[in-house]
Amino acid sequence: MGVDKELLESTLKLIEENPNHWNQGDWHCGTSHCFAGFVELQIKKLPLDTTESLSDACITREMAREALGLSDLQADVLFSGVNKLEDLKEIVRFFVASSITDEDVNKNKYFAALSPALSINQIEQLSQDEDCDVRQSIASRDDLPIELASRLVKDSEWKVKEEILSRSNLPIKLVTRLAQDEDCVVRLAISHRSNLPIKLVTQLAQDEDCDVRAAIAERADLTAELVNQLAQDEDCEVRTMIALNSFFTKARRAFDRSRYI
């Protein structure tokens, strides 16, 4: 699902035509609404002066984000309470553009980094920007080449690394490489990923860092051999985690069996 350009533009137009009902600092406040609030009004086909049938902040945000086809980071930027009307116009322009000039990129790197229209060369350029917020935005992109993901996961700023590590679509080759990273925080993040090959789970169960081993001890996909190994770990936290894991696993199985009795 891509960005809904039509909904972005219609929302901006509605705000421009009804400035008295726009308040970017609050999702809904009386008959005033932020950008996300205006999206909700359109989805529910409600009049601008309504004060009923409106959602709370979290629901409004998520409803608008999904309807607009935005990533979490794109939504954070667009829905920010500090945005002025000129900011909204610029953000929407970047989000609906079919192409972005290098001049546009240099004029506003932060907004440009979130634009779906960036070329591969522009993505490469911004991935090396000195501003960590720009690099984080690049790291969040669905079209980020694997080579750049491999580089950005080594970034000096944790929030840039985190964007890479939280991706569900990391290639197994990169996951395998990161499971051997010298940074224990990176290995810890890998240990929390679902659908890890048993070979990597086994490797991380022997990690030198006890927090990594404790994270592995919490997994539901451990073999009996790994459970026994971790139950004898030198670190008490690891042993505690494996004991709790075993207890809840037995409880779940007992519950499942009881459903058919």
Domain coordinates in residue numbering, the chain: 1-96, 172-261
Stated pTM of the model? 0.76
Return d(Cα 203, Cα 222) in angstroms, integer.
12
> 91, 29, 93: which is closest to 60 by C-alpha?
29
Beta-bridged to residue 33, according to DSSP, are: 22, 28
Q: What pLDDT, on the 0 to 100 scale, is given for residue 248?
A: 55
Question: What digits encode the pLDDT tens for the residues 35-70?
Answer: 999 999 999 999 999 877 788 889 999 999 999 999
pLDDT at 250: 52
Q: What is the DSSP letter of 32?
A: E
Where is average pLDDT lowest: 22-26, 84-88, 133-137, 255-259?
255-259
Tell me: the pLDDT tens digits for 126-156? 999 999 999 999 999 989 988 898 899 889 8
CATH architecture for the domain at 172-261? Alpha Horseshoe (1.25)
